[in-house]
A and B are shown apart, each in its own frame.
Chain A
Amino acid sequence: MELKDLYRDVILDHNRKPRNFGRLDPADASADGHNPLCGDRLNVSLRLAGDTIADIRFEGKGCAISTASASLMTEAVKGHDRRTVHELFTRIHALLTQPTAPLDESLGKLAALSGVREFPSRVKCASLCWHTLNAALEHGGTISTEAGNESTSEGAP
């Protein structure tokens, strides 16, 4: 377990200078994500051109892993359609959770998140933004890393 595997330069850079930070107004879709265990909250808003994500922003307060992951995600999905985004989500999920999976070089900068899998308590930090994006594309509203009664009770923003 090496700290520098988790806090790579790309991660620290995106934490210090998050890309696509803010909120699109008006937006075609948006969702809020919440990790009640650590208090991380973020909002993902996007504009669609047909089936393609034309623009995307995120806003929120969280740890370096959650902020950098969200920032990297906005760069990675902009200009892609739902199917491609969904497929990317599946590959990111494997990257974060499967310790033995070979490194997927085609993930580009997102591969910087591979260090997270050595830190099981931090996987949810990195995946929160992806679940939130997924919720925005599916139905909007609020999602929580801890699937409880709270997850949908707060209503759509």
Chain B
Amino acid sequence: MNVTPLRAAVSAGYDVERVRRDFPILTRTVHGKPLVYLDSAASSQRPLPVIRAVDDYESRSHANVHRGVHALSQEATAAFEGARERVRRFINARSTREIIFTRGTTEAINLVANSFGRARLGPGDEILITALEHHANIVPWQMVRDATGCALVVAPIDRSGELIMEEFHRRLTPRTRIVAVAHVSNALGTILPLAEIIAAAHARRVPVLVDGAQAVPHTPVDVQALGADFYAFSAHKLYGPTGIGVLYGREELLAAMPPWQGGGDMILNVTFERTTYNELPYKFEAGTPNMSGAVGLAAAIDYVESLGLGAIAAHEHSLLEAATAALSDIPGLTLIGTAKHKAAVVSFVLEGIHPHDLGTILDAEGVAVRTGHHCAQPVMDFFCIPATARASFACYNTLGEVQQLAAALRRAQEVFG
């Protein structure tokens, strides 16, 4: 195993067995085998503090927020707004006015595409994305392109799965109105050079939206240090509940943007003639929000910060190095995505065995991996493959599980002779 002494030392202080005890689901079996959960990039599991926080809110404090004068409504509002402040501190936003709760990363990007995009884009304008994007950072922009007549420009990647920066710079032009990029590729694990991307965009006064869904669980994010204008992420990849996510936006941009969805909570005054919209962040939160989800997200943030995101990242990196070494030893296995800077994701194909068959055989061994196009069909097309198998690692995975993955892959080769 190829682990640097420094990283090994950091990992050594990390008690993964203690972490695993926080996740009840990890004790279950699948098809009679202990569960080896390697699909956290699709959705991570929840630790007890998150499960209990949601349960506690539902059992004791639920009522609608921002409306009632009664005790429960005030408790629910305090819990919900407390969660917003927790998110603000987590990503170091200046103000809670910059923290908008959404259903997830997808809705956050749709919000920007619709509100910012439709107000600011027209024929002759360009949206710049990369060839690594998840469908959630492609399709909303295509819809805006079709509605406004602007163009969608794609910066290409190389065979290792890295963005070709030269090509990116070439596509950043006086016509570019917004840049929308992933922080970490979900299909390949590539970490994008955000500092360079954001500096180049800002030199042309172009705002940058960052899809942080795959980054937030694995690395500390400081939106001010990063300089991102918009940053989107989901709770359920951060050990929190589904159905809740965050859009961070710089206040002066959000203030100038029109509301996207209309309804309750996003208004100050309504008559049939006209409506006065609420202030930030409520202008962008129409309807009753997901309060228990926000409470769960806040608990998930407390949880990852109690472990330390730096310690989690170091642990995951040792798993990535072990997995890369173990899988490279398997004859006929090709890693897809070999960027220098990667999150703990290994995407691969095995000669003679379709990823879908691999997924079934691994499942029979209790090993859960994702197989398919990972909502990134253009990435698959680039590598001329229909699909990959993808193992993704989280704070609770072990070196033993890496070996179980490798053993299950050899078992697949036996089945297929």
A64 on interface, CB distance cutoff 8 Å? yes
Given contacts A1-B31, A63-B357, A64-B354, contact A41 B416 (CB under 8 A): no
A-contact bits for B397-417, CB 8 A (1 contact / 0 none): 000000000000000000111
A-B contacts counted at CB < 8 A amount to: 50
**Shortest distance from the beta carbon of A124 to any chain B beta carbon, whole Å:** 10
A37 on interface, CB distance cutoff 8 Å? yes
Contact B372 A37 (CB under 8 A): yes
Q: In whole angstroms, how far apart are the Cα atoms of A119 and B360 in the complex?
A: 8
Contact B360 A12 (CB under 8 A): no
Contact A1 B364 (CB under 8 A): yes
Contact B387 A121 (CB under 8 A): no
Contact A121 B360 (CB under 8 A): yes
**Chain A residue at minimum C-beta to C-beta distance from B371:** A38
Contact B360 A6 (CB under 8 A): yes
Of B356, B361, B373, most A-chain CB atoms within 10 Å: B356
Contact A39 B416 (CB under 8 A): no
Q: Which residues of chain A (101-152) have a CB below 8 Å from chain B?
A: 119, 121-122, 125
Given contacts A61-B386, A64-B416, contact A39 B360 (CB under 8 A): no
Contact B415 A7 (CB under 8 A): yes
Count residues of chain A with CB under 8 A from any CB of chain B. 20
**Shortest distance from the beta carbon of A127 to any chain B beta carbon, whole Å:** 14
Contact B386 A3 (CB under 8 A): no
B380 on interface, CB distance cutoff 8 Å? yes
**Shortest distance from the beta carbon of A138 to any chain B beta carbon, whole Å:** 26
**Chain B residue at minimum C-beta to C-beta distance from A1:** B31
Count residues of chain B with CB under 8 A from any CB of chain A. 19
B-contact bits for A34-69, CB 8 A (1 contact / 0 none): 000111110000000000000000000111110000
Of A12, A39, A64, A125, most B-chain CB atoms within 10 Å: A39
Inter-chain contacts of A4 with B (CB < 8 A)? 415
Inter-chain contacts of A122 with B (CB < 8 A)? 356, 360
Inter-chain contacts of A121 with B (CB < 8 A)? 360
Inter-chain contacts of A37 with B (CB < 8 A)? 372
Inter-chain contacts of B360 with A (CB < 8 A)? 3, 6, 119, 121-122
**Chain B residue at minimum C-beta to C-beta distance from A121:** B360
Q: In whole angstroms, how far apart are the Cα atoms of A4 and B387 in the complex?
A: 24
**Chain B residue at minimum C-beta to C-beta distance from A61:** B386
**Chain B residue at minimum C-beta to C-beta distance from A125:** B356
B-contact bits for A1-24, CB 8 A (1 contact / 0 none): 101101100001000000000000
Choose from B364, B373, B415 the contact partner of A39 (Cβ within 8 Å).
B373
Inter-chain contacts of B31 with A (CB < 8 A)? 1
Choose from B353, B387, B417 the contact partner of A38 (Cβ within 8 Å).
B387
Chain A contacts to B: CB under 8 angstroms:
1, 3-4, 6-7, 12, 37-41, 61-65, 119, 121-122, 125
Chain B contacts to A: CB under 8 angstroms:
31, 353-357, 360-361, 364, 371-373, 377, 380, 386-387, 415-417
17 A-B contact pairs sorted by A residue (CB < 8 Å): A1-B31, A3-B364, A3-B415, A6-B360, A38-B355, A38-B371, A38-B386, A39-B373, A39-B387, A40-B356, A41-B386, A63-B355, A63-B356, A64-B354, A65-B357, A119-B360, A122-B360
Please give 7 more A-B residue pairs, beta carbons under 8 A apart, in addition to A39-B372, A122-B360. A1-B31, A3-B360, A7-B357, A7-B361, A7-B415, A39-B373, A121-B360
